[in-house]
């Protein structure tokens, strides 16, 4: 069982945080599933990731539903994923089941800290995940750089 990492976004967009974290996960040999709740938002994220990677930082990824899903290092979709992901990134209020969380090396919960509804939903996810015994970390970028503000060990 890995760690659930909550990213309280106040200065950057999810794609900015993903553009930093995805290469790190891929360097570990982990595949990633990015799960969202709205197809249009995921399409935008897909397009933005192509631009964020740039020439030196290409982030190989694809949208769920294509013929190569199983081969994608980073798969973007709304479903369970078929790429053997060891990292699950939850955006736009997406959720995960307990067993799914336990099977991951990392779960990233990225939420807009300026949206009161998303903030409340993230607090509820924190309580549910830590209550289920998952190790969790809360990261904030309020100071201009990421700082770990809270941690709950697996129990």
What tens digit of pLDDT does each residue of 131-146 get?
Answer: 999 999 999 998 889 9
Average pLDDT over residues 87-112: 96
The whole-model pTM stands at 0.94
Average pLDDT over residues 28-32: 97
Q: Is 121 exposed, middle or buried (0-12, 13-18, 19+ CB in 10 A)?
A: middle
For Cα atoms 102, 117, 122, give the angle at the middle one, nearest 5 degrees: 20
Q: Residue 137 and residue 148: Cα distance in Å, rounded? A: 7
Report yes or no: 71 and 29 within 8 Å, Cβ to Cβ: no
Instruction: Catalogue all structural domains in the chain, each as residue range(s) with its CATH number.
Output: 3-152 (3.40.50.10110)
DSSP letters, 109-123, are EEEETT-HHHHHHHH
* % of the chain surpassing 70 pLDDT: 97
81 by DSSP, 3-state: which?
A: coil
**Model pLDDT, residue 143:** 84
**Model pLDDT, residue 56:** 61
């Amino acid at each position: 069982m890995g760690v659930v990492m909550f990213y309280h976004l106040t200065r950057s967009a999810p794609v900015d945080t993903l553009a930093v974290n995805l290469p790190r996960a891929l360097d570990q040999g982990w595949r990633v599933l990015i799960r969202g709740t709205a197809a249009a938002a995921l399409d935008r994220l897909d397009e933005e990731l192509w631009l964020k990677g740039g020439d030196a930082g290409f982030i190989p990824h694809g949208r769920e539903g294509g013929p190569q899903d199983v081969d994608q290092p980073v798969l973007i979709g709304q479903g369970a994923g078929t790429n053997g992901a060891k990292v699950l990134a939850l955006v736009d209020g997406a959720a995960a089941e307990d067993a799914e969380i336990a099977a991951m090396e990392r779960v990233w919960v990225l939420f807009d800290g300026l949206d009161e509804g998303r903030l409340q939903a993230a607090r509820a996810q924190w309580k549910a995940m830590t209550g289920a015994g998952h190790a969790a970390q809360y990261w904030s970028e309020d100071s201009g750089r990421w700082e770990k503000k809270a941690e709950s060990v697996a129990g």
